[in-house]
Amino acid sequence: MQHILLGRTLRPFFYTLILISLITLGYSPLIFSQTTNNNYNKKTEITIKNTLLSIELVDTPTSRALGLMHRKHLAENHGMLFIFQQDTQSCFWMKNTYIPLSIAFIDDTGSILNIEDMTPLDERSVCPHAAYRYALEVNQGWFATHTIQPGDRIAGSFLEP
């Protein structure tokens, strides 16, 4: 009799424990993706004026929307290249982005159109001067440090032939 009574009193506890586990497991991909968004992007290298840069490629609407959000650090000589299927004049912002960045808007031939600095957590739009195909984000000041300016060209396997 005592064994049956014990089973009845523990049953709600076990059901609750199972329910909490299922909810936690169900939401873990969402929580994980919010805090570590850098593990799923393709990586490659590009050169600009004989300077090698390791980059993450983001070429889907979801990966472009997330960009460098929620990151606290971007390694030296690393960046993120946003690839668009067609020329665009879309602007960028720094919502949920904690790293001071510089962005280069680049045309379909690899020529840099303009370079802008962006302030962490600033939700004001940073826009290109003309339609572009690629946007390259790096640590703020990286372009100036390497004397890279509008008109310079990037080289990489992602460029259309």
At 111-147, the pLDDT tens digits run 999 999 999 999 999 999 999 999 999 999 999 999 9
Let me know if residue 160 belongs to a domain.
no
Judgement on whether residues 63 and 135 belong to the same structural domain of the protein: yes
83 and 118 Cβ atoms separated by less than 8 Å: no
Judgement on whether residues 31 and 50 belong to the same structural domain of the protein: no
53 and 79 Cβ atoms separated by less than 8 Å: yes
Collect all residues with Cβ–Cβ distance below 8 Å to 70 and sequence separation of at least 6. 34, 35, 37, 96, 97, 98
Judgement on whether residues 88 and 109 belong to the same structural domain of the protein: yes
Judgement on whether residues 31 and 46 belong to the same structural domain of the protein: no
Tell me 99's DSSP state. Answer: S
Kindly state the helix (H) or strand (E) to which residue 18 belongs, with its residue range. helix 2-35
At 29-63, the pLDDT tens digits run 443 334 344 456 789 999 999 999 999 999 999 98
pLDDT at 158: 73
Judgement on whether residues 91 and 114 belong to the same structural domain of the protein: yes
Question: Which residues form the domain of 26?
Answer: 1-35
At 71-114, the pLDDT tens digits run 999 999 999 999 999 999 999 999 999 999 999 999 999 999 99
88 and 82 Cβ atoms separated by less than 8 Å: no
Judgement on whether residues 141 and 107 belong to the same structural domain of the protein: yes
Let me know if residue 21 belongs to a domain.
yes
Tell me 78's DSSP state. Answer: E
Find the CATH number of the domain harbouring 114.
2.60.120.1140
Number of domains the chain is built from = 2
111 and 160 Cβ atoms separated by less than 8 Å: no
Judgement on whether residues 23 and 54 belong to the same structural domain of the protein: no
